[in-house]
A and B are shown apart, each in its own frame.
Chain A
């Protein structure tokens, strides 16, 4: 037995008051859905948390109509007034941060340390950031001053937004904050496995006295999302999720006037040179792939390590992985929580088994996994070649594939040898090499000597099949303006 064992330090579940069932949020009211209800479960225990409504295409139509009606009022408000609503929302999120963090961990399975210290602070910050833009759009530079006023500051109309389950409330913030700041109204569909925080957000909109219809939340599975995307009165579609679904959406909106932004999958290379700050590189690798159980589109899932330090780095990485605390998401000392769903767990298992079958060497951190719930131990594959499926397919789980390179040019070539292009990492103490590499990596976000950092002021989004458009920063406004 270890000398210094940490006793359980569970966050209180009592701060979240769960109702047995939840409806849709349309035109400022909670209403029943017309489709069959479904359960959202706690992935750490498989315990059902609540019954959730399914919005049919008729329900989605009601939501779009409400958003259309509200658009007139909302877009006509002076930017400064819209700003104040968004500031209010940001403040309420801060006030209710603890409750929301617990809720997020319950529904998603992510460790409370992350929902408390990463998700929630970023959610509030995102609303604060875009609140400030609402009355400054003419300074954003997307149009020019003309005799008729200022071009490039007009909203698009009704935004249909479909978000994933990995950062439920943060992805909501990324979608709703800029949309509202620019004067659009929204119909948002949260993921079917993590609908709760979006419904809590609906309540926050009410506490903020947001005009009815400005934000509408429709829950359901893929069909509900498809109805949102396909609705003829939606002017803008924003989606974060898999590349597979992104393709379908791009096909759906083809031939329409809908503006589309997509934030899709990735298979990021995290490149470690022999002169890297090794301890921080190890932290960056761990943070890159095990943050949020690896359910991160920009996860550093391919470790490209210079051959000369492969053994040393892998030894350090495994030593560090052995200290990862896997388990109860509500325990404040948990580093790696539960896999979000049985389906996702099956996919991670399948790809990992394929990795072994293809000849890569598998090592998992020695940790005891709970009996109930969906769990996967932090895992690293060595001896991986570019041709292996685990080096090409997005696993979206706590599984790292390790490849080697000899020269900077080879590192770039391997890093870019993927249809994805969302993010990349570079670890070296040599400044000019960082900039040389950064120039050549075909990825929307390049983290040098850091990884998985996010900020509302910093644009995020991909190259190639990782999607198009940017979220965050000044450039994030473009997606919601008629420019």
Chain B
């Protein structure tokens, strides 16, 4: 990190000055750029490449109050072998209490275990609880932690509090990768999305993630675009690469491919791997598999031929 950036979080005032000194984002312009990229026509061989790439980037997720060990085991089975010769997904994403189940089910598969933590999805608890939540998930074997930022603190301008929480959670992660969920649907403006992205990256995030999936709107193309611009610019400024994970609302192959197009034309090849780009989703995987089969067989697929785990 350059010295100028190292001092950014010296105080609330310096942090605020830095974040508010970032270039603004014109909403209409960003929306249009995302919409134009959304018109890319991805066909035949490009589509086949994109589908397999997308599958390999999926964080297959279940985050329900009704989740059980059985449900998680079934999902893990599918994560490793989605079917039809499709590649395995990048990770499964579960609540902290089910991490151990997932770790057991995925042992040796290469599929990583991600856990939400920090009083997901609202994050409305004390830092002590957030850190403990994180530490327990890591102790249970989570490879990746998806934390939420304190949106209340962010919106009230207390950037330093948000920063310090991320730093503390990052410390609790140890070797685990930290994904910082901005919950962009609550941040209201793209300017805030850009500031929150930089804030998270400055605090040590390995990934920045759009949403919990519990708030609408979740991942939208323009929000992903703004975040991709942020990681691109952050690497230019600091030399450190940070990943991006849109999550929530990505249900179709078309949506997933549009996101890959954004990555391709904004951040570029360096981010086009599961190491640096993820798609947080649950129902998306089956649509990817259906489209994949259509490319292989030439027939449109039906849902009865794809498992619902």
For residue B89, CB closer than 8 A to chain A, the reply is no
Which of A165-173, A182-190, A277-285 lies at the interface with chain B?
A: A277-285
Residues of A within 8 Å of B25, CB to CB, are 277, 279-280
Q: Which residue of A lies closest to B33 (CB)?
A: A283
Residues of A within 8 Å of B33, CB to CB, are 279-280, 283
Residues of B within 8 Å of A450, CB to CB, are 26, 28-29
Interchain CB contact under 8 A, A7 and B40: no
Where chain A touches its partner, the secondary structure class is loop
Interchain CB contact under 8 A, B39 and A113: yes
Residues of A within 8 Å of B239, CB to CB, are none
Residues of B within 8 Å of A449, CB to CB, are 26, 28-29
Interchain CB contact under 8 A, A6 and B40: yes
Residues of A within 8 Å of B46, CB to CB, are 4-7
Give the number of A-B contacts (CB < 8 Å): 76
| Shortest distance between the CB of A33 and any CB in chain B (Å) | 39
For residue B45, CB closer than 8 A to chain A, the reply is yes
- Choose among B30, B47, B269 the residue that contacts A279 (Cβ–Cβ < 8 A): B30
Where chain B touches its partner, the secondary structure class is helix
Q: Which residue of A lies closest to B40 (CB)?
A: A333
For residue B216, CB closer than 8 A to chain A, the reply is no
Given contacts A3-B53, A277-B24, contact A283 B29 (CB under 8 A): yes
Interchain CB contact under 8 A, B260 and A7: no
For residue B164, CB closer than 8 A to chain A, the reply is no
For residue A323, CB closer than 8 A to chain B, the reply is yes
For residue B14, CB closer than 8 A to chain A, the reply is no
Interchain CB contact under 8 A, B43 and A7: yes
For residue A276, CB closer than 8 A to chain B, the reply is yes
| Shortest distance between the CB of A447 and any CB in chain B (Å) | 11
- Choose among A4, A277, A278, A429 the residue that contacts B49 (Cβ–Cβ < 8 A): A4
Q: Which residue of B lies closest to A117 (CB)?
A: B39
Given contacts A117-B39, A333-B41, contact A4 B50 (CB under 8 A): yes
Q: Please name 16 further chain A to chain B contacts, defined as beta carbons within 8 Å, in addition to the given A117-B39, A277-B25, sorted by A numbering.
A: A3-B53, A3-B272, A4-B50, A4-B269, A6-B42, A113-B39, A275-B24, A279-B23, A279-B229, A280-B25, A280-B30, A283-B29, A283-B33, A284-B29, A332-B39, A333-B40
Q: Which 10 A-B pairs have the closest CB atoms?
A: A280-B29, A9-B41, A332-B41, A7-B46, A280-B26, A278-B23, A277-B26, A277-B24, A3-B272, A429-B24
Interface residues of B (CB under 8 A from A): 23-26, 28-30, 32-33, 36, 39-47, 49-50, 53, 226, 229, 260-261, 264-265, 269, 272-273
